[in-house]
Amino acid sequence: MKYAYYPGCSLEKTQRGYDQSVREIFKILGQELIEIEDWNCCGATMYMSVKETVSLAVSARNLAIAEKMGLDIVAPCSSCFTVLAKTNRILNQVPEMHQNVNEALSESGLSYSGKTRVRHPLDILVNDIGIESIIHKTKRSLNGLKVAPYYGCQIVRPEKGFDDRENPVLMDKLFNKCGAEIVYYPMKVRCCGGMLMTTFEDTALKLNKELLECAQKHQADIIVTTCPLCHMNLEGYQDRINEIYNTKFNMPILYFTQLLGIVLGLPESSLGLDSSFIPMPQKLKSIMEVQYV
Amino acid sequence: MDNLNFQSAGYMSKKEVELRRIFLEQVNYIPAGERIKRCIQCGTCTGSCPVSYAMDISPRQLIALFRAGEMETIMKSRTIWICASCYACTTRCPSGIKITDIIYALKRTAMEKNYISQANQVQILANLFVNNLMKYGRLHEGTLIRNYYLKTSLWKLFKLIPLAKKLYQTKRLSLFPKRINAYHSLSKIIKKAQEIDLRITAPPLEYSPEYVGYRTLGEMKLEQRKGE
Ligand code: SF4
Ligand code: SF4
Ligand code: SF4
Ligand code: SF4
């Protein structure tokens, strides 16, 4: 299958590990990603603007270009994914809004009929490609690795989407089949605070401390994530959490696509694993040394 | 009678009427927004909220206050700014109320009416975000964060140096923002959308300003619950 790829602002540089690993695993699984030419920011925070046409039009520009390409969008960032999907829903449910947005889009010769589907890579991997055909291509087993799957809050909400809203299981199933042990992780959809790390730092630090604590308590070796913002909060602020709460967290955080890339036998460098702040656990390093064809 | 400076039950100040008008206009844009009428004050939203402990008014209380004709208290609250938009409340509300979107509507109302909240750093960040997007078409995180802390706390900016260093070492720090090529066509879209926003005044939900409480929204229709 071919998809219109929407990396989003964080994946361009700050979270290049996610970008690289998404591209690599799609390639090795025979899927084609074509980056949306000149995509613009989906305008997440613009939903706070006084009236909505601006924020809807900004994100709809991307939907319109993808529609022209005749492809569905793949958006790995949970935030972009939620915003683009929400725009889609509003345009399909509120005709006046749809009309207004099209009026704005026509200024640059675009129009959007509402057909583009917005997909998350996890959904495509598990529900379209299927765990069985992925397993077919694996080169390594995650045997002995204990994984805490963290979905974050946006990927399965607010509307019923591709996985359960309270207890999503797609990553659990996927990595379980890859040989990993999925630890009990009741905080899998508990919010990390997102942008609160900037605006209400204390509150966000506490939320992230709880997420790390829960993973540690259940003896996870790593946490896997699906969203650049959660990733940044859990990884980039671990030092600060240790400083404030007097803890000693040293929890490696990997994107689920990086972990899957390892299983598929891809080399460390092509998965952007060199960009992690916290080194991989020994168990995972040993797994990477094995290569059975 | 007009000179009475106390408010009797069932009477709303002009300010309150105006705030309700703007808010209800916003609610009207939310698909199934009218479900706000059906709150049963069960508190599931508050119980599900990961940050309710840090709020001054709980999500359940927001709806109670709205019904009671206390919009101004809501406008001045910390709650609407600290909400992380995680949708936990919306997912669990037994009445299908889109609380997260309602809180967005409250934020917009507060911004339109210039309520400077206790926690106005959220507005600072939102404004910088919008400027950044308007200027480049994409968000440049480095610029956004730097400008934000320049406005709010130099000390915190200073404390971010170790993180910036790590990003640099792992080749994840981009120093300069870059404009997208289609920048001009994006600006045209935004400009037009702004014009449209100015001319929109959606008909507000039906309500009777002379009443507070459950009757503010007129008779409740028991329409079928669609979707979901
Ligand atoms: S959600 Fe964030 S990363 Fe995604 S496009 Fe919007 S601003 Fe950029
Ligand atoms: S968990 Fe945090 S970063 Fe992830 S989607 Fe939710 S708010 Fe955003
Ligand atoms: S969960 Fe829904 S019904 Fe219950 S108090 Fe909150 S908004 Fe009202
Ligand atoms: S969306 Fe806001 S109010 Fe609702 S649970 Fe999340 S943080 Fe709390």
In the predicted model, is pLDDT for residue A165 greater than 60? Answer: yes
In the predicted model, is pLDDT for residue B221 greater than 70? Answer: no
Please tell me the predicted confidence (pLDDT) of residue B3. Answer: 44
Contact A153 B197 (CB under 8 A): no
Predicted model pTM: 0.88
Q: Answer whether B35 touches A (CB < 8 Å).
A: no
Q: Which ligand is nearest to the CA of A9?
A: 1
End-to-end CA distance of chain A: 26
Residue from the list B86, B159, B180 with its beta carbon closest to the beta carbon of A191: B86
Cβ of B69 closer than 6 Å to ligand 4, yes or no, is no
What percentage of chain A carries pLDDT values higher than 70?
97
Instruction: For residue A253, give the 3-state DSSP assignment.
Output: strand
Q: Which sign, positive or negative, has the C-alpha torsion A242, A248, A252, A255?
A: negative
Mean pLDDT of A98-108: 93
Distance of residue B7 Cα from the nearest chain A Cα, in angstroms: 30
Which residue has the least CA distance to atom 3 on ligand 1? A9
* Model ipTM value: 0.86
Distance of residue B182 Cα from the nearest chain A Cα, in angstroms: 6
In the predicted model, is pLDDT for residue B222 greater than 60? Answer: no
Among candidates B178, B41, B188, which has minimal Cα distance to A108?
B188
Q: Which residue in the block uniquely carries the two structure tokens 């106390």?
A: B6
For chains A and B, count residue pairs whose Cβ atoms are closer than 8 Å: 185
Q: Which sign, positive or negative, has the C-alpha torsion B110, B111, B115, B120?
A: positive
Please tell me the predicted confidence (pLDDT) of residue A135. Answer: 93
Please tell me the predicted confidence (pLDDT) of residue B135. Answer: 86
Contact B86 A194 (CB under 8 A): yes
Atom number, ligand 4, closest to the C-alpha of residue B90 = 4
Q: In chain A, where does the domain assigned CATH 1.20.1050.140 lie?
A: 2-119
Among candidates A162, A285, A166, A175, which has minimal Cα distance to A223?
A175
* pLDDT tens for each residue of B164-176: 888 888 888 877 7
* pLDDT tens for each residue of A236-258: 999 999 999 999 999 999 999 99
Average the pLDDT over each of A40-49, A92-101, A162-171, B200-209 and give the range with the smallest value: B200-209
Average the pLDDT over each of A58-72, A237-251, B155-169, B207-221 and give the range with the smallest value: B207-221
Residue A59 CB partners (closer than 8 Å, separation 6+):
A42, A43, A83, A84, A87
Residues 6-25 of B with CB under 8 A from A: none
In the predicted model, is pLDDT for residue A153 greater than 90? Answer: no
Which residue has the least CA distance to atom 4 on ligand 3? B42
Contact B85 A12 (CB under 8 A): no
Q: Which fold has domain A133-289?
A: Rossmann fold (3.40.50)
Mean pLDDT of chain A: 91
Atom number, ligand 1, closest to the C-alpha of residue B129 = 7
Contact A48 B172 (CB under 8 A): no
Instruction: For residue A254, give the 3-state DSSP assignment.
Output: strand
Contact A40 B88 (CB under 8 A): no
Residue A165 CB partners (closer than 8 Å, separation 6+):
A156, A157, A189, B91
In the predicted model, is pLDDT for residue A285 greater than 50? Answer: yes
Q: Is B62 exposed, middle or buried (0-12, 13-18, 19+ CB in 10 A)?
A: buried
**Peptide bond before residue A267 is cis, with ω within 30 degrees of 0:** no
In the predicted model, is pLDDT for residue B211 greater than 50? Answer: no
Of B34, B89, B97, which is best to mutate to test ligand 3, by the most ligand atoms within 8 angstroms of its C-beta?
B97
pLDDT band at A208 (very low <50, low <70, confident <90, very high): very high
What architecture is domain A2-119? Up-down Bundle (1.20)
Cβ of A238 closer than 6 Å to ligand 2, yes or no, is no
Type of residue numbered B118:
Q
Distances (CA, A) of A207 to A69, A78, A161, A257, B60: 41, 18, 25, 24, 21
Mean pLDDT of A9-25: 89
Mean pLDDT of A31-59: 82
What percentage of chain B carries pLDDT values higher than 90?
25
Please tell me the predicted confidence (pLDDT) of residue B228. Answer: 34
Domain covering B14-119+207-217 assigned CATH 3.90.660 in the classification: no
Q: What residue spans define the domains of chain B?
A: 14-119+207-217
Which residue has the least CA distance to atom 5 on ligand 2? A154
Tell me how far the alpha carbon of residue A177 lies from the centroid of ligand 1, in angstroms. Answer: 32
Specify which residues B103 forms β-bridges with. Answer: none
Distance from C-alpha of A119 to C-alpha of A269, rounded to nearest angstrom: 26
Please tell me the predicted confidence (pLDDT) of residue A291. Answer: 65
DSSP H or E segment with residue B75: helix B71-75
Cβ of B160 closer than 6 Å to ligand 3, yes or no, is no
Q: Which sign, positive or negative, has the C-alpha torsion A77, A80, A83, A84?
A: negative
Q: In chain A, where does the domain assigned CATH 3.40.50.11810 lie?
A: 133-289
What percentage of chain B carries pLDDT values higher than 70?
81
Q: Answer whether B207 touches A (CB < 8 Å).
A: no
Tell me how far the alpha carbon of residue A3 lies from the centroid of ligand 4, in angstroms. Answer: 33
Cβ of B97 closer than 6 Å to ligand 3, yes or no, is yes
In the predicted model, is pLDDT for residue A112 greater than 80? Answer: yes
Mean pLDDT of chain B: 80
Residues 135-174 of B with CB under 8 A from A: 137-141, 145, 148, 156, 159, 162-163, 166-167, 170-174
